Amino acid sequence: MGGKSKLLWLIHKLSPSRYSRFIDVFGGSGTVTLSRPIQQGCMEVYNDFNGDLTNLFCCVKNRTMALLLELGFLPLNTRDDFNVLYKFFSREEFTDDYLDEEMELTQRYLEPPDAKTIRRMMLERAPRGDVRRASDYFKLIRYSFSGGAKSFAGKSCDIRRFFHLVWECSRRLADVVVENKDCVDLIRQYDREDAFFYCDPPYYDAEDCYAVGFPKEGHQRLHDALLECHGYVMVSYNYCPFIVDLYKEFYIFYTTRPNSMSQKAGSEYEEIVITNYDPRLYNSARHWQLSIFNLSAADEDDGRYTLIHEPETKSHKTEERR
């Protein structure tokens, strides 16, 4: 669960060295896609089934200035303000009460001349567009506990601090294809011999923690699609016997990382990285960590990892590398 910042070192270390297209099937915050160095001639695809998230990425990429302007209007820092945004993304009807609440927030946060201008704009505004939707979702994520967009973190946050982050992400996304598709449909669309698929599906037995539903049978469906892939495949999961057994035709590496969602000091989270090729035959370097919600150096030391399962039959990817 959560972003891949703590696992980036292993993802990059186990990645194949040569491919002409990279597909981030469950893109999430974009940490993996955005942390990759730009490779000339390599097609990049970011996908997520969450329409609010892909709309945000599209606006960051194509409507950067409009989004920056929108993000500067109303920095919200209280539970009541958070609930205003959560109400919209819970698909509740847009009512006059909702408009009154937004206008009240404008009065609270802006100086009188500016508040008067913005209140007038709200009253005259056309139906909510993609930029406004993206701005609201970005704020919702920033103010949520662990970025889950479901509960208030109780932590003050000035959204204007992230202007530089949106701009940096916009530049990095310039040539990235943004998709909003079912994972299996996407895999079949982009599969070829020199494709590299990275998958970070909802973790097993934690599906309810994600904004977009993922049924239990979805794990089997994803496995079956990846088993048929002609390209390189990498999957990250929580460690559990069901997943280890499900992916018995693949290489499986085990590691641990600090559990940021636990209140217990020193708590660790067990994870596995699964590939359809032998990554020990490749060598990849560490890169910078950039996501649409955070920007920092990937300064985590390389951790420990162990090969816990090797397939009985070598894949064509391993054989051709030899």
Q: Give pLDDT, residue 152.
A: 44
Q: How far apart are CA 241 and CA 249, in angstroms?
A: 14
Angle, CA 204 vertex, CA 279 and CA 227 arms, to 5°: 45
Classify 42 in phi/psi space as left (phi over 0), alpha (psi -120 to 50) or beta: beta
In the CATH scheme, what architecture does the domain 5-49+181-321 have? 3-Layer(aba) Sandwich (3.40)
pLDDT digits (tens, 9 = 90+) for 34-60: 999 889 999 999 999 999 999 999 999
How does DSSP classify residue 151?
S
3-state SS assignment for residue 127: coil
Residue 286 reports pLDDT greater than 60: no
pTM for the predicted model, two decimal places: 0.76
Instruction: Return the structure tokens found at 285.
Output: 């370097």
Maximum Cα–Cα distance across the chain: 72
Residue extents of the structural domains in the chain? 5-49+181-321, 66-157
pLDDT digits (tens, 9 = 90+) for 96-148: 555 565 556 556 655 565 556 655 555 544 344 488 889 888 888 877 654 45
Residue 194 reports pLDDT greater than 90: yes
Residue 76 reports pLDDT greater than 50: no
How does DSSP classify residue 51?
H
